[in-house]
Amino acid sequence: MSALLLAGVLGLGSVSARAAESAPVASANDTATLVTDRDAVGPDQHLRVGLRLQLKPGWHTYWINPGDAGDTPTLDVTADGGATGKGGAIHWPVPVRISEGGLMSYAYVNEVTLPEDLVLKGSGGTTLHAHAEWLVCAQVCIPESGDFTLTLPASTGDVPEGGAQADLFRKAEAATPVASPFAASVSGDGVLTLSGKGLSAASVSQAWFLPQDGGVIDQVAEQPLHVSDGQLTLGLKFLKAAHRDKPLVGVVVLKDAAGQESPLQIEARPVGGASAAAPVQADAAPALDVPTGAGWLRVLLFAFVGGLILNLMPCVFPVLAMKALSLAKMGGAGRGAQLQSALFYTLGVTGAFAALGIVMIGLRLAGSAAGWGFQFQSPGFVVGVCWLLFLMGLNLLGVFEVSAGRLGQVQTGGGRSGDMMTGLLAVIVATPCTAPFMGVAIAGALGGPPVMGVLVFLSMGLGLAFPYILVAGVPGVASRMPKPGAWMGILKQVLAFPLFATCVWLLWVAAIQRGVTFVALTAGGVVLLGFAGWIYGVGQRRSMLEGGRGTVAFCQIVAVLCVVVCGAALAQGLRAAPAPVVTGASEAGIEPFSEARLAELRAQGKPVFIDMTASWCITCMVNERVALDVPSVQQAFRDQKIVFLKGDWTNRNAAIGAFLKAHGRDGVPFYIYYAPHQDGVVLPQILTPGIVLSTIGK
């Protein structure tokens, strides 16, 4: 160590001590800088650059595999000037393991440098530009990011091996795994074996395995160690969804009696059979069950029933009201038109469900924690849906018309594209709701083979479309619908107001996500789109009455410009930093959810009720109004001294996503009650005061 320190001091030369470190990006939780291992560059120089994070006590960030919760840091570096280049992949130092609340995290504490290689081409000075994103967690998790600039001059002579920050890279390199000299294999029952000269009970006192990818092993389970001469085994517990026929990639850390750790990068080849050398311990945390064989039929049935029940959810009411208008019109239509309308509505619903399922499954395979309704965590998506529904309401009121056959048709009942559009919108507005039976179905879809996952989402779509199929397909049902008449125009206008009510709800969601400034932008867009719809309608009426092409073209151009301005304003608003907002977790008598707080309360023997919710989830809001925020339930909570923890999933939250996944759920609402020193009891997704009171034993 003394030699390393001396080399670092001698390497400074005449260059400033901060020449190889950028200006800091600081927060209340940490300080981040961009560092390099050299203070100057020569021709075709090979640099090491890195993100240096100095974390405040109690805070941590994450490894390439964050574990059961968290997010992987990213670093993107480019160089321009006399010498140019682009940084490579991060070389990950070995993290520490943090186990709490039944979850495992692989993290860095205190200080860490995440290095990567940068090969420069050319000669002369260079300027490094870097963008980094990382998540820091303590009792809460906060996503952070930074943009860094660092200028390195051209070397006037030989470039020294080490710059002012070279020690940081030496420490990172010393903690980075090296290729294992031992042969590695893993059996089907999870026994990881290392074989080779030098392994013995005298050289290895402890060992543990860190998987490079999540979703392979139960990361919080014990890893029993057995060491003999020339061989070491670790007992791992595969998750049921793991592909056991693929190599197991990760890091094995060997620790000797003196406490010296040796991290080894391994790729264990799968071998058949089971091994009794190191029995695997029982589950420390429940793994998710993935259906097989006939079990998929049950999941598909649950998916269908869940989609069917979605028709009764408040989320879908605005669009179903529009479809009711089509049902009424079907009373005077022929059977062929009725079946065609049902077919294209079903295609719209199932197509949207399939697309949503493919996106969610793709994100899960890529390591994301996306869950049901994840798109409503995007403020841009929320505002886009709000504006679309507002335009649809104006269309229903007759402010403008979109004739049958045009792309993007929204006129209710206006042909095949209108039926498909209505089905698509039904799915879009349905995703904030989770119906009973959907939890099991979605968990199975996301945990099983991708093909079966898509079939599960298609089954949900068929369930949502089934009532309309029934009306159109059963002879005599549609014929008993009221005959079309003048009353249809009034009904069409009345149905605009559920859409406007939905817009108000989405405005509220935007306020929770990004603050009042973003709401002003959204409301301003509503006014501008209202003007666009009005002037577009003026052009249409002028065309029908007078046929003036110039006036019509002018009105259409103005309407399009209004839409473009709205899009540009939304993009600008999304780039701005969100204003701090106060969420429901700060309400009186309610604490924000965290795994650490839950573990603390359960250790103290206190009863805990957990409410996982989101502002974009109408079912959640209804449950709060009718079942949780009622005097009888609130009094029972006070009498029994039940601690109420609320997890707000309105914005992306890795800890909440991991908690839901650990309990077999991928969406909200989710409710669970922990009696003192007992396992949790999961409540239904539709609550009544009686259900809550019976669960807590009141």
pLDDT score at 586: 44
Q: Which candidate, 69, 110, 61, places its Cα nearest to that of 90?
A: 61
Q: Cα–Cα distance between 646 and 623 in angstroms, integer?
A: 13
Q: CA-to-CA distance for 136 and 394, rounded, in angstroms?
A: 45
- pLDDT category, 468, cuts 50, 70, 90? confident
Can you tell me the distance from the alpha carbon of 509 to that of 432, in angstroms, rounded to the nearest whole number? 11
Contact 26, 171 (CB under 8 A): no
Beta bridge partners of 610: 645, 672
Residue 565 has pLDDT above 50, yes or no: yes
590: tokens are: 């309610």
Are the C-beta atoms of residues 125 and 82 closer than 8 Å to each other?
Answer: yes
By three-state DSSP, how is residue 500 classified? helix
Block residue for tokens 């599960």: 456
Helix ranges (DSSP H) in 546-594:
549-575
Please give the DSSP secondary-structure letter assigned to residue 334.
-
Amino acid identity at 691 = I
Q: Are the CB atoms for 278 and 233 separated by under 8 Å?
A: yes
Residue 585 burial (CB count, 10 A): 16
**pLDDT tens digits, one per residue of 109-136:** 999 999 999 999 988 889 999 999 998 8
How buried is 297 (Cβ within 10 angstroms: 0-12 exposed, 13-18 middle, 19+ buried)? exposed
Strands 178-179 and 261-271: parallel
CA dihedral (568, 574, 577, 582) positive or negative? positive
What is the separation, in whole angstroms, between the first and last Cα of the chain?
A: 64
Out of 126-130, 245-249, 383-387, 675-679, the most confident range is 126-130
Calculate what percentage of the chain has a pLDDT beyond 90: 22
Q: Indicate the helix (H) or strand (E) that contains 498.
A: helix 496-514
- Per-residue pLDDT band at 429 (split at 50, 70, 90): low
Mean pLDDT is lowest, of 58-62, 260-264, 657-661, for 657-661
* DSSP letter assigned to residue 27: -
Residue type, 608: V
Backbone angles phi, psi at 624, to 5 degrees: -60, -40
Specify whether the CB–CB gap between 48 and 169 falls below 8 A: yes
Asked if 224 and 281 touch (Cβ cutoff 8 Å), the reply is: yes
317-329 and 379-397 helices cross at what angle (nearest 10)? 30
- Tell me the pLDDT of the chain averaged across its residues: 76
CA 669 centroid distance within chain:
16
Report the percent of the chain where pLDDT is more than 70: 69
Distance CA(64)–CA(213), nearest Å, equals: 8
Partners of 561 in the β-ladder: none
Higher pLDDT, 160 or 695: 695
Contact partners, residue 76, CB within 8 Å, separation at least 6: 87, 130, 131, 132
**Number of H-type helices and E-type strands within the chain:** 18, 23
Per-residue pLDDT of 532-554, as tens digits, reads 888 888 877 777 666 666 777 78
Does residue 379 have a cis bond before it (omega within 30 degrees)? no
| Contact indicator for 434, 372 with CB cutoff of 8 Å | yes
Closest-CA residue to 116 (of 89, 95, 92): 89
Cα–Cα distance for residue pair 111/121, rounded to 1 Å: 31
Q: 103: which residues sit within 8 A by CB, 6+ positions away?
A: 67, 68, 69, 220, 285, 595, 658, 659, 662
d(CA 107, CA 67): 8
Q: What is the C-alpha separation between 529 and 404, in angstroms, rounded?
A: 21
Higher-pLDDT residue of 667, 192: 192
pLDDT average, residue stretch 158-183: 82
Angle between the 438-447 and 335-365 helix axes, to the nearest 10 degrees? 60
Any bridge partners for residue 114, and if so which?
51
283 or 571, higher pLDDT: 571
- Distances in whole angstroms, Cα of residue 635 to Cα of each of 155, 180, 638, 685, 693: 74, 61, 5, 22, 10
Query: Looking at the predicted structure, is the pLDDT value of residue 61 above 80?
Result: yes
Compute the distance between CA of residue 128 and CA of residue 152 in angstroms, rounded to an integer: 8
Report d(CA 697, CA 695) in Å as an integer.
5
| DSSP code of residue 21 | B
One-letter amino acid identity for 309?
A: I
**Integer CA distances (angstroms), 9 to 47, 53, 168, 664, 678, in order:** 19, 22, 13, 54, 58
Residue 401 pairs in a beta bridge with: none
pLDDT digits (tens, 9 = 90+) for 207-228: 999 999 888 898 888 899 999 8
Determine the Cα–Cα distance for residues 53 and 115; give it in Å rounded to an integer. 11
Q: What is the DSSP letter of 189?
A: T
Look at residue 194 and tell me whether its pLDDT is greater than 80: yes
Side-by-side strand order, sheet with 608-613: 590-592, 643-648, 608-613, 670-674, 680-682
- The whole-number pLDDT of residue 616 equals 60
Q: In terms of pLDDT, which residue wins out, 605 or 281?
A: 605
Q: The tokens of 633 are what?
A: 């339930």
Q: Is it the case that residue 69 has pLDDT exceeding 90?
A: no
Element (H, E) at 268: strand 261-271
